[in-house]
Structure 1
Amino acid sequence: MFDMDRWQEIFDTINKNRLRTFLTGLSVASGVFILVILLGFGQGFENGIRKEFEGDATNRIWVWTQVTTKEFNGLNPGRRIELRNTNFDHSNKAFAEDIEYKSRVFRVWGTSINYKKESGAYGIQGVSPDYQMIENVKMVMGRFIDQTDMDAMSKVVIISSKIKREIMKEVENPLNEYIKLGDINFKVVGVYTDAGGEREENRVYIPTPTAQHVFNGADKFSNLTFTLQPQGTFDDMVKESNIFTSNLKSYLQKYHQVAPDDESAINVYSALDEAKRFYTLTGNISLFFWIVGIFTIVAGVVGVGNIML
C-alpha cells in the first residue's frame, strides 16, 4: 500500500542531507560500475585463456625427449634419447582403452620448400592421419593424410592456406600440383587452416613413414602425441590423464633405460593439467572481483541506512 507520509519523511530526510545523499549515491553507483568493470575484465581474461586452448585438443598428451642427466644401469649421463616406432606401436596396444587419437611426429629442420621460382623456409612434419583431430586442423581444400598414404609411403603433402598464399599465389587450385621439399617432389593433396592462427600454419604435413624414409630417419621420430577418451567430468579426465602420463613415462623410461628420477630425459606433458590450473585461476579471480564489487555496493547501502537514521 502506498504510504504518502512515509515517502514524505524519506524525501525530507534526503533534502536535509543533500551532500551525504549525493556522496552515498555516488558510492553505490561507483560500486556497481566497478563490479561491472571487474566482472568484464575477469570474463575477458577467461575468454582469452579459452581462446589459447582452441588451437589444440584440451585432452592432448605430448611426449618429447632430451638427454639423460643421471647414470643408470652403468650407462653414463648425456645420452640422447630418441623415440622409435616400437614405442608408438607398444603404446597403442598397451593403452588402447585410454587412447582416442594418436600420432607420431617426425620433424624436419632446415629444408626449404619450393614451387617453381617461389620458395620459403617452413617446417616439415611427418604425422599420422589422427593428427588432424589432435591439432584441430581444418581442411579447406582436398584431404588430409590417410592410411593408404602411410602404407604406401606416398610422397604427398598438405600445405596451409598461408603457404599457398606465399609460394603458390598465382595458382587458384593447388591440388595435384607438385612442390619440392628440399630436392624431392611432393604432390599437394590438401590445404588446411589451423584454429591457432597463422603462427600454426608455417608448416606442411607429410606421412610419417615417408618422412622417415626420405629424410633418413630410420625408425626414429621426434614426438609422440595422443588424446584420451572423454570421461564423465573434467576432474575425471584430469585423474585419468595423470594415470596415463605416469604409466606412459614409466614404460618409456624402462625401454630407454632412463633413471626413474631423471626429470629431463623423457618429458610427458598433459594439456589438461595446464587447463585445470588456468581455469582454477580464472575462477578465483572472478570470485575475488565479485567480493570486491559486492562489498563496495554494501558500503553504499550502509551509507544510505545511516542517512535514514
Structure 2
Amino acid sequence: MRLDLDTYKEILDTITRNKSRSLLTGFGVFWGVFMLIALSGGGQGLREMLQNNFAGFATNASVIWAQPTTKAYRGFNKGREWSMDTKDIVRLRHQVPELDVISPMIFGGRRTTTRGTHTFSASTIGVTPDYARVAAPTLYYGRYINDIDMKQERKVCVIGKQIYKNLFPEGGDPCGKTIRVDSTYYRVVGVNYSSGHAVNFGGSAEETITMPESVLRKVYNRGTAVDLMAVTGKKGVVMSTIADRMRTTLARAHSISPEDTEGVTVFNTEIMYAMLEGLFQGVNFLIWLVGIGTLISGAIGVSNIMMVTVKERTGEIGIRRAIGATPKMILSQIIAESIVLTAVAGMSGILFGVGILQLVEMACTTDGMVMAHFQIDFWTAILSTMVVCALGALAGLAPAWRAMSIKPVDAMREN
C-alpha cells in the first residue's frame, strides 16, 4: 500500500465517517497515554521533592549522638545520662582511620533574633567549616563559615531563608550587616536557602543561624561538650561496615556497653537513601503497570471498533477485492487506519499530559526557583509514542485478518 495523499485522505474519510464512535474510541487511548505521562511526570516531580529534602547531605555519612543508656555496664545503672566531648573527635580519628570528615556540632537552642524593629525566633547551631562537606549549603548570598572564622572566633553567622525574609524584608544582599542574637551582635556572611526538611539538626534549616562552633561554645559556655557528630567515610568505604567500631570507640571511652545501640546512636544515611531508592523503584513499576494497562484496554477498544467497522464495510472490501485489491493491500489499509487513530489520540494525550505537568511545575515555584520538575524526559515521550503506534498496529491485526478472509463473492452477495 502506497502512503500518498490520496491514501491519507481515504484513511481520514473512513475515521471521520462516524465521528462520535471514533472520538469515543480514541478517548480510551488518549486517557491511557495521558495517565502514563501524568503519572510518570508526577512520580519524577515527587521523587525530586523528596530528594530535595536530603539535598546536599552526603550519601556516605553517619550521624552520632548520645542518649540515655539502656544497659547496665561496669557498675553503672541503665538510664544514665552522658554526653560526647571534643576528645571523642581525636578518638574517632585515631581508631577509625576509614573516616574522612569528623564534624562536631553544638546547639544553642531557640534564641530571639533582632534587627531594628524586626524580630524572629531562630535556632542556633555551632559547626566547623568541614560540616559543609557533610551537608552542603545552598548559598543564595555570601559564603559559609571558614577556618579563619574558627581560629579568630569571629562573631559571624550564616542565616536561613526564613530569617532572611523576616529580618531583611527589603531584600538585597545582607552580607556585612549585623543582627542581634539575644544580647550578642553577629555579622551576616551568608544566606543559606537549603530546606532539608528530612535532615534537620537543632531545627529547620530555614530557621537556623549557623555560627562558628568556637564562638557558640564560648558565648553559651558549652565547655568541651559535643551534641552531635557528623562523619563521612573515605571513598569506597561503606559506613555500615564501620558503624560498630565507631560505637565501640565512644562507648568504651564513656563506660557504656558496646552493645548499647541506643545509648550511642549511629545513624547511617546510606540506609535512608537505599530505602528512598527502593520506594521509587516500586513507584515507577506501579506507574508503568497502570499506564500500560490503561493503554492496552484502550487498544482493545480500538480493535473492537475496527472489527465493527470492517463488518460494516464488507461490501466495500468485496468490491475492492473484485477489482484487483490484494489481501496485503486490504491488510495495510485496516492497520494504517488503526495506527492513525491511536497515534492521533496518543499524541493528544502526550500534549495534554505535558501541559498539565507544566502547570503543576509552575505551582511549585518559590522565590523564582523551581522546587521540583514535573516533566517527562525526551526519551520517555519517544517511548510512549512508539508504544502507542505498536499498540495501534496490534489493535488492527484482528480486524485486518478478518477483512482479508472476506471472499469477493460472499461480500458482493452480502452487499
The two structures have a TM-score, normalised by structure 2, of 0.60
Q: CA deviation at 1:45?
A: 2.1
Structure 2 residues without counterparts, runs of 5 or longer: 198-203, 308-398, 403-415
Which residue of the partner structure matches residue 94 of structure 1?
95
Task: Please say which structure displays the higher CA radius of gyration.
Answer: 2
Q: CA deviation at 1:162?
A: 4.2
Report the Cα distance in structure 2 between the residues aligned to 1:264 and 1:226, rounded to whole angstroms.
18
Q: Contact between 2:193 and 2:206, CA under 8 Å: does it hold in 1?
A: yes
Q: CA deviation at 1:72?
A: 1.6
Report the Cα distance in structure 1 between the residues aligned to 2:214 and 2:16, rounded to whole angstroms.
85
Picking from 205, 210, 217, the partner of 1:205 is: 210
SS in 2 for 1:123: strand
Q: CA deviation at 1:89?
A: 2.0
Q: Contact between 2:162 and 2:206, CA under 8 Å: does it hold in 1?
A: yes
Q: CA deviation at 1:107?
A: 0.4
Q: CA deviation at 1:259?
A: 2.7
Which residue of the partner structure matches residue 124 of structure 1?
124
SS in 2 for 1:254: helix
Report the Cα distance in structure 1 between the residues aligned to 2:68 and 2:191, rounded to whole angstroms.
34
Q: CA deviation at 1:242?
A: 1.2
The structure-2 alpha-carbon separation of the partners of 1:259 and 1:177, relative to structure 1 and needing over 3 Å to count, comes to same
Bigger CA drift: 122-131 or 86-95?
A: 86-95
Picking from 270, 273, 277, the partner of 2:271 is: 273
Which residue of the partner structure matches residue 156 of structure 1?
155
SS in 1 for 2:54: helix
Q: CA deviation at 1:277?
A: 0.8
Q: CA deviation at 1:29?
A: 3.2
Given the alignment of the two structures, is residue 254 of structure 1 paired with residue 252 of structure 2, yes or no? yes
Picking from 202, 208, 214, the partner of 2:219 is: 214
The structure-2 alpha-carbon separation of the partners of 1:51 and 1:201, relative to structure 1 and needing over 3 Å to count, comes to closer
Q: Contact between 1:158 and 1:189, CA under 8 Å: does it hold in 2?
A: yes
Q: Contact between 1:249 and 1:267, CA under 8 Å: does it hold in 2?
A: yes
Bigger CA drift: 293-302 or 268-277?
A: 293-302
Question: What pairs up with 1:1-309 in 2 under 5 angstroms?
Answer: 1-2=1-2, 25-54=26-55, 56-99=57-100, 101-115=101-115, 118-152=118-152, 154-160=153-159, 162-167=162-167, 179-183=179-183, 185-188=184-187, 190-196=189-195, 199-231=204-236, 240-305=238-303, 307=307, 308=399, 309=402
The structure-2 alpha-carbon separation of the partners of 1:300 and 1:189, relative to structure 1 and needing over 3 Å to count, comes to closer
Report the Cα distance in structure 2 between the residues aligned to 1:292 and 1:172, rounded to whole angstroms.
48
The structure-2 alpha-carbon separation of the partners of 1:2 and 1:218, relative to structure 1 and needing over 3 Å to count, comes to same
Q: CA deviation at 1:79?
A: 1.0
SS in 2 for 1:109: strand
Q: CA deviation at 1:176?
A: 5.3
From the two aligned structures, give the one with the greater helix fraction: 2
The structure-2 alpha-carbon separation of the partners of 1:243 and 1:23, relative to structure 1 and needing over 3 Å to count, comes to same
Which residue of the partner structure matches residue 234 of structure 1?
none
SS in 2 for 1:72: coil
Q: Deviation string for 1:216-271 (max 9, x for gaps)?
A: 2221111101233444xxxxx7xx02113332223222322323443322222222
Report the Cα distance in structure 2 between the residues aligned to 1:223 and 1:287, rounded to whole angstroms.
38
Q: CA deviation at 1:84?
A: 0.8
Q: Which has the higher contact order (CA 8 A, sep 6+)?
A: 1
- Cα RMSD after superposing both structures: 3.8
SS in 1 for 2:242: helix
Report the Cα distance in structure 2 between the residues aligned to 1:62 and 1:56, rounded to whole angstroms.
11
The structure-2 alpha-carbon separation of the partners of 1:28 and 1:189, relative to structure 1 and needing over 3 Å to count, comes to closer
Report the Cα distance in structure 1 between the residues aligned to 2:130 and 2:231, rounded to whole angstroms.
9
SS in 2 for 1:71: coil
Report the Cα distance in structure 2 between the residues aligned to 1:48 and 1:167, rounded to whole angstroms.
27
Q: Contact between 2:55 and 2:196, CA under 8 Å: does it hold in 1?
A: no
Report the Cα distance in structure 1 between the residues aligned to 2:125 and 2:86, rounded to whole angstroms.
16
Report the Cα distance in structure 2 between the residues aligned to 1:226 and 1:42, rounded to whole angstroms.
32
Aligned length, in residue pairs:
297
Q: CA deviation at 1:289?
A: 1.7
Q: CA deviation at 1:276?
A: 1.4
Q: Deviation string for 1:14-56 (max 9, x for gaps)?
A: 9999998776544333322322232233222222222222153
The two structures have a TM-score, normalised by structure 1, of 0.78
From the two aligned structures, give the one with the greater strand fraction: 1
Q: CA deviation at 1:82?
A: 0.4
Structure 1 residues without counterparts, runs of 5 or longer: 232-236
